[in-house]
Each structure stands twice: as C-alpha cells, then as structure tokens.
Amino acid sequence: MSTYEGGGCKASVTCSDGVKREYNDWNVCYVGGRQFFTDPAIGDFSITWTDGGRGLGSPILQVKSVKDWSEWDVSSLSSDYIKEKDYNARPETNLCYRVNAYDSHFNYDYICGVPKVGSKGAGIQADKPVNDRGYAPGWCGMHVVQHQKPNPATDRYRFDITLKDHNGKAIGEVLGAVADKPIEVFSKLPYVFILTGGNVDSDAVLFDYAGQHWGSNDQGHHCDFGAYDNGARQGDCGFSCD
C-alpha cells in the first residue's frame, strides 16, 4: 500500500506464486477514508490512511478473515529495511515493512504479510468462511481426553470429546461419555462423529466420520496422543470435513 505527495493511493496483493493484483481505484483517498477491496486470495480487506501531517500516511489495514476485521496499525508494525522492493531481503521479525524512508515528496510505501483465507502464516490465522451449517469446512480437528478405568475388571473408559472446524472453533462436544458402546458426537457437521474405545490402556482409540476410519496412532490423520498422566491421557487428530 502506498501514497504519493499526500494522495495517489495505491494497493496491491502479490501471492507467493508471483501473481499480482493491483487496486488503484480509490474513491476515499484522504485522511480517515476507509477503502474496501475484495481479493481472491486474502478475501475482503480495507485500508484507512490516518495521518495527514506530512503527506498521507500511518495506514490501518483490516482483513475480514483475520480476527473479524481487527486493526493492524501498519506504522507501528513496520521497520525500514531497504529502498527497493526486494522481498527476499526483508527481516523475518515484522508483519509489515516500510519500503522507502520519508522523503520530500511525502511518499509512504508499506508491505504487510497476510495469509490466504483458510491458512496460517507468521502466527496469524486467516479464518475460512463459515457455511450455512455454521462451521468452516476443510480440515477439522478433534481433541480427546481418555479417562482410565477405576476398576479395570468391570468398568469402561470414559471420554471427553471436542470437535473443531477448520478455523479451530469448537462445533460439538460430549463430556464424560462411557464407552460401553460406540460414542456418537452430534455437532454442526453434517454427519455423526463416532468414537470407539478399546479394551485395555494400550489399545488404539478408533474414530469414524463420513466414510473415514482411523485410529489414535494414525499419522495420516496427524494424531498425537500422549501417555497416561494422573488417570487420563489426551490426544488430537484431524479429518476431512468438507
């Protein structure tokens, strides 16, 4: 995003594959004017220039998919680094960078790293849109707590199960369910999630969802289950939830 001599507002989005889209058609290129755009990679975003003291500067960047339009104070997040747009030369400690230092033409030019919708980057989650069922489809997750049997000879395992959508938001949960039969978890997902407990502590926990079948030791579903501690063990897996 850039301005020239107190005006000339411009913006562009350049993806990692080199594809660049320019957004130079502004109708609010002035202090306090919030210009909205829609980009196929990062979704809806806006830029507001807030300082007119020495040209048009101090932009506020807002991206709908990042914490629902949370404000990025670009000047505070930036550091001068080079005089040309050499993307490979920038340091890795800032979300935004000032390309050119202030000059007599009141030029301001900034670059910010924004993840594509539904992805993560630099510790930032760009949320994927929620569908009409109320969840973000894609790659969902589950967190499980398996409680050991009080009496291994007669009791069954109990489970706490939390389902999360692509954005990591909880969309279904059961607590303290006894695994005397397969446990069904109803959620915002279109199909029922099913957990089947084992017979002994070393048995894998089994999962089923929409034709997918896997166990707690399945690396294809990125499962990570720890050892028992204070009578319980915890683990996480992922699964497709389009």
- Tally of CB atoms within 10 A around 211: 7
Mean pLDDT score, 205-211: 98
Confidence of residue 42 (pLDDT cuts 50, 70, 90): very high
Q: What is the pLDDT of residue 101?
A: 55
Residues above pLDDT 90, as percent of the chain: 67
Weakest mean pLDDT among 116-120, 133-137, 171-175: 116-120
Domain edges within the chain: 2-123, 139-240
Q: What is the pLDDT of residue 80?
A: 58
Give per-residue pLDDT as tens, 46-72: 999 988 667 788 899 999 998 889 999
Confidence of residue 103 (pLDDT cuts 50, 70, 90): low
Which residue is associated with the tokens 């099913």? Answer: 194
Residues above pLDDT 70, as percent of the chain: 88
